Chain A
């Protein structure tokens, strides 16, 4: 029954998108984190999607192939009174851009909703197929 694999395909997409949402949540939570004594602040992370075979070449699913750290320079804020300030009075913070993360979050949540709707439609069609001839 070929329609059943829609649940595998959309399910893989939902799982990948929720992982993306998790990473966004982590980035936003650490947006204002200050670097520790070693000077290494939090680096934003991004998921990388790739197609994953779901048994048939015609309808592949999705998986997260890697979670990469952003290469942007860490943000430096002048705040001499801060306990973590260096000799010049600068505090090193994370390189997360909260606006980009919010956009990322909206995109992930819309994609998630789309795939849920696809699964609901497939479910309705399958139920009607099972009731065939009654």
Chain B
């Protein structure tokens, strides 16, 4: 009974951890926007979420359709978790020093991810309030 109530919380908690991870990776891309030879990376959120939930996410996760953005290149399935969900971002405007960070896109991704992180937080807050009011029964 109680497990049913908190299963939604578990799901959102996993999502929150992955959002924080992606936020960190994008911050790193922005920090290295001027570093020669740096290759921008991004987290394949769908794949990572699927791994975190033990493959229970019902989605057509075919390998050629598993990037979050049409310009992301999917990496091979090296492992079950962590690094295998990290992909390299395809270059839009190649630069002479080998740096593949597109600052505009990274900033957009950063804001987008921040909003989604907040949304996940609100889901958790509201879920916990619902559980509390059910427990208190007032």
Per the bound structure, the CA–CA distance linking A20 and B33 in Å amounts to 14
Interface residues of A in 31-71 (CB under 8 A from B): 48-51, 54, 56-62
The count of A-to-B residue pairs whose CB atoms sit within 8 angstroms is 93
Give the interface size bracket for A toward B. Answer: 35 or more
Per the bound structure, the CA–CA distance linking A107 and B103 in Å amounts to 12
Give the interface size bracket for B toward A. Answer: 20 to 34
Per the bound structure, the CA–CA distance linking A61 and B118 in Å amounts to 25
Assess whether B86 is in contact with A118, with CB atoms less than 8 Å apart. no
Assess whether A2 is in contact with B107, with CB atoms less than 8 Å apart. no
* Shortest distance between the CB of B90 and any CB in chain A (Å): 18
Assess whether B32 is in contact with A62, with CB atoms less than 8 Å apart. yes
Of the candidates B16, B23, B83, B103, the one whose C-beta lies within 8 Å of that of A122 is B23
* Shortest distance between the CB of B98 and any CB in chain A (Å): 12
Residue B108 at the chain A interface, CB threshold 8 Å: no
Q: Can you report 15 residue pairs joining A to B where beta carbons are below 8 Å apart? A: A3-B23, A6-B24, A9-B28, A10-B27, A10-B30, A12-B31, A48-B36, A50-B36, A59-B27, A62-B35, A114-B33, A115-B31, A121-B110, A125-B20, A128-B121
